[in-house]
Every structure is written in C-alpha cells, then in structure tokens.
Amino acid sequence: MQGQHVVEIDRKVPLALFAFVAGALSLLLLVVSVLTPPPATPAELLAFASTHRLAYGLFASLVLAWAVLSVPLIVTLGTMLRSQGGTLTGVAQLLSAGGVLLLGFAVFANTAALLSIVAAGNAPHPEDPIYLAAIWINLSFYLTDPGLMTWGLGQFLFGWIAWRSEVLPNWLAVIGIIGGLAGLSTLAVFQTPVLALVQLLSFTIWGFVTGSSLLRSRRSILATA
C-alpha cells in the first residue's frame, strides 16, 4: 500500500507541472493575441510582417510549443475523469488533442505563408503580394475553424463529464462548457477571433486549476500515507 502511495505521488507532480506549463503557454498566447491585433488591410499586414519577421517567427514557435505541450494536459484530464465518463472521456480526449494539434498547424501554416510572401521579394506585378495576402487573411479562418470546432467539442464533453463528477469543481465545468460552445460556434460567427479567445481563456483556466487540483490531491495523499 505504501508503494502505491509513492507511485501515485510521483505521478501527480509531473502531471501538475505539465498542466501549469500548458496553462502558462495558453495565457501567453492569449495575451499576445489580444495585445497585437492583426493590421486592418492586406497592405498593412504585409508591411507589418516585413518589419517584424522575428516576432512572427517567435509567434509561430509559440503556437507549435503550445499545441504540443497542451496534449499532456488533455491526457491528464482524460485520466482524471475516465472513471466518470468512460468511453465518452476517451472521445473528449481524442477530439481535444486532435483539435489542438490541427489548430496549431493551421496557425503555423498561415504565419509561414505570410512570411513566405514577404521573403519572395519583388513580385512580377506590384499588387500581387497584396492580393495573395488578402487570400491568406480570409483563408486563415477556414484553416483554423476545423481545429477550433473539433477542440471545442472535446472541451464541451470534458466540461459535461466534469459537471457530473466530483473530481473538478462545477464552476470549472461551466467554464469548460462555455469554451467548448465558443469553439463549436466559430464557423457560424465567421471572421472574428473573439470566440477563439474565449475558448483559449477557458483552456488557460482549466490548465491552472487542474495543476492546482493535482498538487492538492498529492498533499492529501501525503497526509494520509
């Protein structure tokens, strides 16, 4: 029995760290997205990307790091809630992880496309880069919506399962459901980042609260060991 306690305690520490890392990266991505809204026109966007290439590259790296390091948090949530949701928890886990990775690739591809237009240099016709940028501005929503909606359905299911369980607080379950509904609505409310920001905020809160819950559980095990 003592050995089982030790194993459980040892597992909770790294899982809590992964949850905090995912929450911190989500918060950083949220802050960057809010503080640096995209320029209004394709011409302004190209000019901005041309003078901030390093910042765009760092943003693309941040998105990829967030997508990859969010998966352990999603796996952890599935482990914590599996006894309550059974197969449905596995579905939520798969949808959330798949949606996050799909979203990360979509944002990276869009950023890479803009940087590629800038790096291509002089175009055969001066208006060509602006035309290409206009296409990618509109295409970015079509690229990100599938990931946001898939992730949103996973978030919604996690929130629903958490509401029925006593593993996580009900208020957190409500936040998860709201974030999930925001993600599911992104295609209906076209060309606005607001719903994606609501979804990301929800995931940020889930990351920090999940990490705190794991550490509290660890202390409880130590107290009763």
DSSP 8-state secondary structure symbol assigned to residue 168: S
Closest CA to 210 of 76, 69, 49, 89: 76
Kindly report the length of the chain.
Answer: 225
| Beta-carbon count within 10 A of 170 CB | 13
Instruction: Report how far residue 115's alpha carbon sits from residue 52's, in angstroms, rounded to the nearest whole number.
Output: 10
176: number of Cβ within 10 Å: 28
pLDDT of the residue at 37 = 73
Tokens matching residue 127: 């208006």
Give the per-residue pLDDT at 27.
96
> Which amino acid belongs to residue 77?
L
What pLDDT, on a 0 to 100 scale, did the predictor assign at position 140? 82
Domain ranges of the chain: 2-224
For the chain, which residues score pLDDT lower than 70? 1-10, 85, 190-191, 218-225
Amino acid 6: pLDDT: 35
Which of these, 166, 122, 182, 113, lies nearest to 143 by C-alpha position?
A: 113
